A and B are shown apart, each in its own frame.
Chain A
Amino acid sequence: MSLLSVEDLQIRFRTGDGLIHAVNDVSFDMAEGQKLALVGESGSGKSQIALAIMGLLAKNAEVAGQVRFDGRDLLSLPASQLNALRAAQIALIFQDPMSSLNPYMTIERQLGEIVELHEGASRADARKRALEVMEAVRIPDAKNRLKAYPHEFSGGMRQRIVIAMALICRPRLILADEPTTALDVTVQAQIMALLDEIQRDLGTAVLLITHDLGVVAGFCDDTMVLYGGRVMEAAPTTAIFDAPGHPYTRGLLRAVPRITEGDVTLSAIPGSPPNQTAAPRACPFAPRCVDAIPACHDGLPEFREGRACIRPVEELT
């Protein structure tokens, strides 16, 4: 049985402009210890999928479909049982370490309260665990920094603390929502290396949500590409990079600079992300697709053999 199984997930938001169809018919499975990337540009609904798994969607959201974790349907779980899973079994790493830590609490308390809550640890034990986990994410001089507040740390160090928070209870699944986006490039690499190491030590499954294909390449076994809240392509990461099967994936890859290929002109995908106020009736990417044929504009493409495209791979440019 898979650890996490998402089936036909739909997320809609009631807004002043009508219903926003943020996530449509998304299905995927994750095994224990698997590293899966969810790739998409901003607005593709990728963060909302993570929030839906945690049961943390905004109040104006409507969710349908199934999210099974270890056999239990998370979407219908009562709040108390969901709270028992959060951080203990499924942890979330947020994008912006500047705002996701409480500025009024010491690091020790912010880490310690998690083990106190989920494992009934005492203050002293919680402090010991906080220290351990701060050392695990390699915060220098951790012992003397337990009583420090978030503003006394740099961005990279804060993201290490956020990661420490996610692993303090050794969860089985970590949802990492753009964990490096807010950081400098050099710090990004350090953080990804840290995540990779921790993932290997704990055997935790990681769902990495990102817009950055470069981050995915070195880290994830499998990759899912989202567009307009819909899965465009899902395949092992190497296959995505070597033989992308969807025009959107190809477009994305052409927009990423690669050191190996010398002077290649980078190309942007023309057009802008789709308006999601109406339920999708056709391939959402069709209006921007270089390979689109008239048939693309009527009817949703079926998701088959890892891709949602009606055109055969050989015919794509």
Chain B
Amino acid sequence: MFNYTLRRLLTVIPTLLVLIVFSFYLMRLAPGGPFTSEKPLPPAVMQNVLERYGMDQPLYVQLWTYIKNIVFHFDFGPSFAQKDRTVNDVIVQGFPVTLTYGFWSAVFVLVLGIPLGIIAALRHNSIWDYTMTGLAIFSQIFPNFVLAPILVLLFTLSWGLLPGGGWNGGQWEYIVMPAIALGTSYMAGVARLTRGSMLEVLNAPFILTARAKGLPERVIIWRHALKPALLPTLTYMGPVFVYMITGSVFIDVFFSTGGIGQDFIDGAYSRDYSMLLGLAILYSLLTFTLNLMLDLMYAWIDPKVRSSL
């Protein structure tokens, strides 16, 4: 297990290198640049600016400098568009915000989605099941950009219960709506997935064995059925959590939370090369960490996977 984790961690390095090289050249292949504007700068000024950001050098030298700075100084460079801010600053300020409401959103997805799915499966084909499945389908078709305004309309404008935006150091009132808006459709997905896999597991021969042992239903569900029933949900949650973090762009903009989603959007508009590359590295590290955690959890649940590691 330890060796496996170590091996996986070591594969990050080549993966990241490939990612950096590709993204670096791809971005520069796109027309325009951080300093293009409708009214062209005088050539002397432009030359100064380019020199200031090292963009007068050949591309491979720029790439080499970029990687060197990351490796030796953990410095992701200055933002090309935002004056006096480095990419490090932006990540340090914005990422904790996104991670905080992303985390609570994931908690909301799991704490609500899994029990709803299990209840629907246990009351299969009853009114509970139909209501739950109906609600799940209904909320799954609600994208966050539809749900967010509805939430604000209700909780802020009509009832005045929650602030309609801002962050305020991450007080809970400011987290609730972003977390719900971000998570609802995934929560519905988790509920439906859990329901389906629970139904399948309950029909497995080893559950019949458990019944033949005389175990009460409660023990059969908790001890015998839950683990295998949660495996598909686990598989689903790994990428979903990454989507939630990376796809939080709209939430950041709509609720003005100050998360990195806003910076990602701004970076794309202004061709802020260093910002985009820095955030891409951050997202890929996040994806990588989550996938590793997921695989380790898989091994923890499934002895067959464990013995193959």
Contact = CB atoms under 8 A, between A and B. Distances in A.
Interface stretch (A94-102, A125-133, A279-287): A94-102
Contacts of A91: 212
Given A83-B216, A99-B205, A100-B206, A105 B211 contact: no
Interface in B198-232: 204-206, 208-216, 219, 223-224, 227-228
A101 B209 contact: yes
Contact of A56 (B212, B301, B303): B212
Interface string A76-88: 0000101111111
Interface of B is mostly: helix
A86 B213 contact: yes
Given A104-B227, A104-B302, A149-B304, A165 B213 contact: yes
B303 A103 contact: yes
Most chain A beta-carbon contacts within 10 A, residue among B212, B215, B227: B212
Interface string A44-69: 00000000001010000000000000
B307 interface: yes
Given A86-B214, A113-B223, A165-B213, A100 B205 contact: yes
A279 to B, nearest CB: 28
Q: For chain B, give the interface size range.
A: 20 to 34
Q: For chain A, give the interface size range.
A: 20 to 34
B201 to A, nearest CB: 10
Contact of B224 (A83, A102, A118): A102
Nearest to B205: A99
Contacts of B215: 83, 113, 117
Given A104-B303, A105-B224, A99 B212 contact: no
Contact of B214 (A83, A104, A151): A83
Contacts of B206: 99-103
Nearest to B303: A149
Most chain B beta-carbon contacts within 10 A, residue among A85, A99, A100, A101: A100
A22 B46 CA distance: 88
A85 B212 CA distance: 9
A47 B209 CA distance: 14
Interface of A: 54, 56, 80, 82-88, 91-92, 94, 96, 99-105, 113-114, 117-118, 149, 151-152, 162, 165
10 cross-chain pairs, A with B, having the tightest CB-CB distances, nearest first: A86-B214, A149-B303, A83-B214, A99-B205, A102-B206, A92-B212, A87-B213, A100-B209, A100-B205, A104-B227
